Structure 1
């Protein structure tokens, strides 16, 4: 290549660079779109299939609070919660993003209807979007069920330890509290009155747990109530569990000692038993020298007729 050709190529390269700098920047063909990134609401993973079941329990007439909580958590993990709470709206400018949004919305709607009973699913099939399905379900089932709340409060009031362990009793009580809070839909507040209300609820839970314990925990119950401030229910449970383990260890020691004593006693009886039997046998067969007549059966002298 001579000097003239080199100079021509240099001028051409310079011209191309100037044109590229002057023209508006455009992504090259095949560049990734925003929805191709996993943290984008419109991103779809290969595992996001229409027949996927996101929650273990289908929506029925009496479990909306539990179902909606589980479904919200599942959609949050999938980064699709915006399609039901309204934070992800349909794009208005780019046609490709509109199509991707529509795909995602239909997918979320399919997930919702697949997690319902057949009767409820049929009743929401007319809804045009996942948001519409979610809103209708909330309006239909989301109101506080006073009958369910009454049953929960009654179950909490009558919950006792009985024959259950401390752990089993606490787990039952904690489940009832959590279900009641879900039905009521109460949220925590950081204001002064909210903090006081939270402390009152915690004290009520601790006292309910202590009241439900068996009478064998009377001493522990008195000790915890005398503590100021009153420990929370988790601390009270830990103290009751520690006492239960101590009692179990003491009972196991007593059982082991009693078993060892019984084995030792049986061994001594076995050692003494053979020494008496031969003596009785020999005494039964021994005949006095001055006995004229002797009975070998009753080991007695017989008188002469």
Structure 2
């Protein structure tokens, strides 16, 4: 495996986890709402909103019920013969949500009248919280310095923060080319964070690394500095 491929390990690992969780949920796409319980593999606890929301939307879209999240097309009027069926479908999807939310949060969402209102309410409540946590993680990255830590200890701290950010903000790209561009940008950022964090006595090595074109992966740089 080349250095570029190695640089995508964190993102590929997350992709594999999402694929594993979705395998059962997306295996079939019934034309009618299934009254059976639906579990996506993780429950919303607050801090995991980004990953949970991504999985939930994919699974519900896979069941052919994405309109209950978007509200499009508009639901039929009460005089329409399809109204009752739509209401039944919506209550079923609403129940799927409740099954995939931690019990401590359920009482906070039962007052929503329909699934779309619940989906929008969760977005308002937890996306902003996730964004705040991401800002905090980035602040930790910007202030992290090796100090008295060994190089390995500093690297492990960086890795832990990066993985936390990946969980809260999965790669949003769909096309292979876009995924590659996004991952390359993230890798460059992480290279800079590593060089900023490590001991100032390594300045000559840092300058030599930054002169390279293209820039090496952050994993390659860590291995080089460690040697």
Q: TM-score, normalised by structure 2?
A: 0.58
Cα offset, 1:131, TM superposition: 0.7
Describe the SS at the equivalent of 1:68: helix
The alpha-carbon distance between structure 1 residues 148 and 101, as it changes in their structure 2 partners (threshold 3 A), is: same
Is residue 2:162 matched to residue 1:174? yes
Cα offset, 1:110, TM superposition: 0.7
Mapping 1:15-26, distance limit 5 Å = none
How far apart, CA to CA, are the structure 1 residues paired with 2:80 and 2:131?
Answer: 48
Q: Decide whether the 8 Å contact of 1:83 with 1:89 is kept in 2.
A: no
Q: Which residue in 1 is equivalent to 2:152? A: 163
Cα offset, 1:207, TM superposition: 0.9
User: Which structure carries more relative contact order (alpha carbon 8 Å, separation 6+)?
Assistant: 2
- Structure 2 unaligned segments of length 5 or more: list them: 1-27, 174-182
Q: Decide whether the 8 Å contact of 1:217 with 1:240 is kept in 2.
A: no
Higher mean Cα deviation, 71-80 or 207-216? 207-216
Q: Which residue in 2 is equivalent to 1:224? A: 209
Cα offset, 1:241, TM superposition: 6.2
The alpha-carbon distance between structure 1 residues 88 and 122, as it changes in their structure 2 partners (threshold 3 A), is: farther
Match of 2:52 among 43, 67, 83: 67
Q: Which residue in 1 is equivalent to 2:128? A: 143
Q: Decide whether the 8 Å contact of 2:69 with 2:116 is kept in 1.
A: yes
How far apart, CA to CA, are the structure 2 residues paired with 1:130 and 1:209?
Answer: 44
Q: Which residue in 1 is equivalent to 2:113? A: 128
Match of 2:70 among 85, 101, 116: 85
Q: TM-score, normalised by structure 1?
A: 0.46
Match of 1:51 among 17, 37, 51: 37
Larger Rg: 1
Residues 168-201 of structure 1 deviation map (CA, whole Å, 9 limit, x = unaligned): 666434324435657xxxx89xxxxxxxxx9987
Describe the SS at the equivalent of 1:110: helix
**4+ runs of 1 displaced by more than 6 Å?**
198-202, 214-219
How far apart, CA to CA, are the structure 2 residues paired with 1:212 and 1:117?
Answer: 37
The alpha-carbon distance between structure 1 residues 179 and 217, as it changes in their structure 2 partners (threshold 3 A), is: farther
How far apart, CA to CA, are the structure 2 residues paired with 1:148 and 1:171?
Answer: 16
Describe the SS at the equivalent of 2:52: helix
Residues 49-97 of structure 1 deviation map (CA, whole Å, 9 limit, x = unaligned): 54221241x22344433432332233233332221122243245973x5
How far apart, CA to CA, are the structure 2 residues paired with 1:203 and 1:244?
Answer: 17
- Structure 1 unaligned segments of length 5 or more: list them: 1-37, 189-197, 248-305
How far apart, CA to CA, are the structure 1 residues paired with 2:46 and 2:125?
Answer: 10
